[in-house]
Amino acid sequence: MVIWLIGLSGAGKTTLGTEIVRLARQTLKHVVLLDGDAIREAFGNDLGHTNEDRRKNAMRICQLGKFLDTQGIHVVVGILSIFRESREWNRQNLPEYYEVFIDTPMNILESIDYKGLYCRAKAGEITDVAGIDLHFPRPSNPDLVISNADGIEALLSHAPHLVEVIKESENRRPTS
């Protein structure tokens, strides 16, 4: 099973993904979190933030998710996921794929802005920031949309449901 968490920078993907994995590991052995930024680092930060590099990173994560899934490991991915074709690839190539869009209002993202991306982009210091000068297309058919406008506790309240999605998938796996 691959749970694919989508949202802008600061939307709560890593926070929710970490909680899903923590809860899932209480009863399941093989669950891993793939965070978009951590995967960039794991591969030596060899890609920039151009559309071409973002596309390469997205496909790396898609393919790594599939590889781990075929090894019997449940995968929770937190990624910006701006390319429709990578999400379509997941739907075509991952037998158990569950897409979650974390919809966080821009005013909240700007108030959090722990990386300083939105402030620096608005000041013209950086470019290619999704949601500012880089178009962020809302996913057209996610399995779940989470409105993240009410704080971290409300966001994390969705973790138990997503753990149940993983457990249901686990129950459908053939036993060897």
Catalytic residues: 81
Task: Name the strands in the sheet holding 97-103, side by side, starting at the edge strand that comes first in the sequence.
Answer: 31-35, 74-79, 2-6, 97-103, 144-147
Element (H, E) at 37: helix 36-42
- Contact of 144 with 101, CB cutoff 8 Å: yes
- Contact of 78 with 36, CB cutoff 8 Å: yes
